[in-house]
Amino acid sequence: MTSSPRRAPYVPGPATPVTAEQRWEQFYRYGPYAVLTLATLVGAVAADLVMTRTEMYAAGVLTVAAYGLQAWWGRARPRTAPGAPAGVAYYTARTALAFALSWLNPFFAIYAALSYFDVEPLLPKRFVRAGLLTTAVTLAGSQSGGLPPPSLMNWVAFAVLYVVNATLALFFWQVGLREEEKARVQAATIAELERTNLRLEAAMAENAALHAQLLVQAREAGVDDERRRLAAEIHDTLAQGLTGIIAQLQVVTSVTDRDPQTARVHLERAAALARHSLGEARRSVHNLAPVALEHDELTGALKKTVATWAEQHRVRADFTVTGTAEPVHDEVAATLLRIAGEALANAGRHAGASRVGVTLSFMDDELTLDVRDDGRGFDPGAAIPAGRAGGFGLGGMRARAERIAGTVEVESEPGGGTAVSARVPLVRQA
């Protein structure tokens, strides 16, 4: 015989919390019945003390009418908007019934007090004050001994109690209005905060997309900048070195048969240029300073560069320093040395000059390099752009200077020589 499976014990889940709106909804639906029943029971107990038999019959009829009114309203209320005519009619009829019952038996003021609680949902805004003051009449009459007041003292008590009831009703109504306004403001503030949060989320998403886009652009810009740097370095090292090697080999070719000793000298110079260019190429790949700056400051490196160029091209070249020479930052020194090398290379290849002057000027916050020649000159406006003829020339010099917040200006005219002036910030060596 098999046993049936045992059922798991029932464990009640957490109860759903009841909101304040739901509690008020229950009160508006069932509260009038409970309050009317309580007033009827209390009034019946005290009927022999305050009512005649005829008044008892009249109170019974009015009580049945009150129950009937409440039953009708229970069906009509869900379909009635706040302040609608049906709600006004219900409130007016109930207030009248409560006044009549309280006239017959003061204990029915318990039922009349309902009009304090639902005056705002049932009446239009302009009639709320009148509804509160009317209800205060019924309550003050019951509290002073019943309506109509039987004596002068009862009238005095009625007047005082009416003022008290009316004042309290209006006061709490105003407090309710303020709380309602505060709730509306808070709801509007919360709604605005939610909209602001949505806008912030959208802005954050947009910023994230822009950030990703900027990262891509920065990466691409870095790649382009590195390409330009390597291209300029190759132009300033390998291209110039190869040009010098070609020139030396051309001399060797022309004098080999006539003067072997001279040919040997030029071959040695070509080999030295090849070794120098190889070293510079390696340093360019590793983004290091030019080899000329390893053992000399900028002034010494420039002096040697000018002297070497003059020896190779057999052109008089003078180097001058103005101002007080001082150590400068490696990047500034490398930039000016590269610009000087390019300007000298251009003078050697194109100018056909008989004399070249290089001046390095130290000023308070600026460093100026001037390279002048007395060659054939050219029209700067008609200069070939970088890349069109395989060179970087003027554009490369300007790009190098701009990387350290400097400028390069070129003055030249056909037959009038050329002057290249580079101006960069004077950044001293730390």
Q: Tens digit of pLDDT for each residue in 15-31? A: 566 677 788 788 888 88
pLDDT score at 1: 45
Is the bond leading into 148 cis (omega within 30 degrees of zero)?
A: yes
Q: Tens digit of pLDDT for each residue in 233-283? A: 665 566 666 777 777 677 667 666 677 777 777 677 777 777 766 666 655
pLDDT score at 376: 86
Task: Examine the pLDDT at 38 and tell me if it is beyond 90.
Answer: yes
Helix ranges (H only) for 4-151 are 20-45, 47-50, 53-76, 85-104, 109-112, 119-122, 128-143
Q: Which comes out higher in pLDDT, residue 221 or 344? A: 344
How large is the C-alpha radius of gyration of the chain? Answer: 53
Task: Examine the pLDDT at 97 and tell me if it is beyond 90.
Answer: yes
Task: Examine the pLDDT at 413 and tell me if it is beyond 50.
Answer: yes
pLDDT score at 95: 93
Secondary structure (H, E, C), 165-223: HHHHHHHHHHHHHHHHHHHHHHHHHHHHHHHHHHHHHHHHHHHHHHHHHHHHHHHHHHH
pLDDT score at 58: 92
Q: What percent of the chain has pLDDT over 70?
A: 79
Going 43 to 45 to 50 to 52, the CA torsion angle's sign is: positive
Query: Which segments of 272-393 are extended strands (E)?
Result: 316-322, 355-362, 366-373
Q: How many CB atoms lie within 10 A of CB 237?
A: 23
CA distance 76 to 405: 84
Q: Which comes out higher in pLDDT, residue 74 or 253? A: 74
Task: Examine the pLDDT at 427 and tell me if it is beyond 80.
Answer: yes
Task: Examine the pLDDT at 165 and tell me if it is beyond 80.
Answer: yes
> Got the DSSP string for 98-139?
HHHHHHH-GGGHHHHGGGGTSHHHHS-GGGHHHHHHHHHHHH
